[in-house]
């Protein structure tokens, strides 16, 4: 612990140039574009992570955004109506009794096919229509 405390005190007095050199040497990653005070905090954090054995898997996953949770997709049920506004136009998709999506008077293979037609780009249909949500991390 004394070694960590010494390193943290050194970081508190370093110039921007020295902070950048220390960051590159310690992490092997490009120096982030931060203010000097934020770079000090980030470097101090990295020093502690290295000394304490690194981040746990749960922490890494949470920092990467997923928290380990898989997306939950709301199932399509007959009679369901999905409404999405895109560039000022409201699009309504209805799920028929066989589970097929109906839009603009015709049956489609998938919600993704409809989303691509509406946007002109590749979209996940469930994501476009708001059916895909991340579970809260436990």
Q: Give the number of domains in the chain.
A: 2
Within this chain, do residues 83 and 129 fall inside the same structural domain, yes or no? Answer: yes
In a domain, 76, yes or no: yes
How would you write the pLDDT of the chain (138 residues) with one tens digit per residue? 678 889 999 999 999 999 999 999 999 999 988 899 999 999 998 888 888 877 777 777 777 765 556 667 788 899 999 999 999 999 999 999 999 999 999 999 999 999 999 999 998 899 899 887 655 544
pTM: 0.48
Alpha helices, DSSP H, located in 1-81: 2-13, 16-27, 36-52, 57-63
Residue 63 within a domain: no
91 in any annotated domain: yes
Whether 92 and 120 map to the same domain: the answer is yes
> Do both 88 and 130 map to the same domain?
yes
Residue 60, domain member (yes or no):
no
93 shares its domain with 44: no
Are residues 12 and 41 both part of a single domain? Answer: yes
Residue 101 domain boundaries: 71-134
Question: Looking at the DSSP assignment, which residues form a beta bridge with residue 91?
Answer: 84
Calpha distance 59→65 (Å, rounded): 10
6 in a domain, yes or no? yes
Cα dihedral 134/135/136/138 (nearest 10): -140
Residue 59 lies in a domain: no
């Amino acid at each position: 612990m004394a070694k960590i405390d010494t390193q943290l005190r050194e970081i508190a007095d370093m110039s921007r140039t020295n902070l950048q050199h220390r960051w590159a040497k310690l992490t092997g990653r490009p120096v982030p574009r931060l203010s000097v005070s934020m770079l000090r905090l980030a470097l101090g954090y990295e020093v502690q992570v290295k000394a304490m054995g690194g981040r746990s898997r749960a922490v890494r996953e949470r920092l990467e955004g997923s928290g380990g949770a898989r997306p939950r997709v709301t199932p399509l049920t007959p009679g369901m109506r999905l409404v999405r506004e895109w560039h000022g136009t409201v699009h309504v998709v209805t799920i028929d009794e066989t589970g097929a999506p109906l839009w603009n008077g015709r049956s489609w293979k998938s919600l993704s096919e409809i989303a691509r037609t509406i946007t002109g780009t590749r979209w996940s249909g469930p994501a476009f229509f708001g059916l895909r949500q991340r579970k809260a991390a436990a």
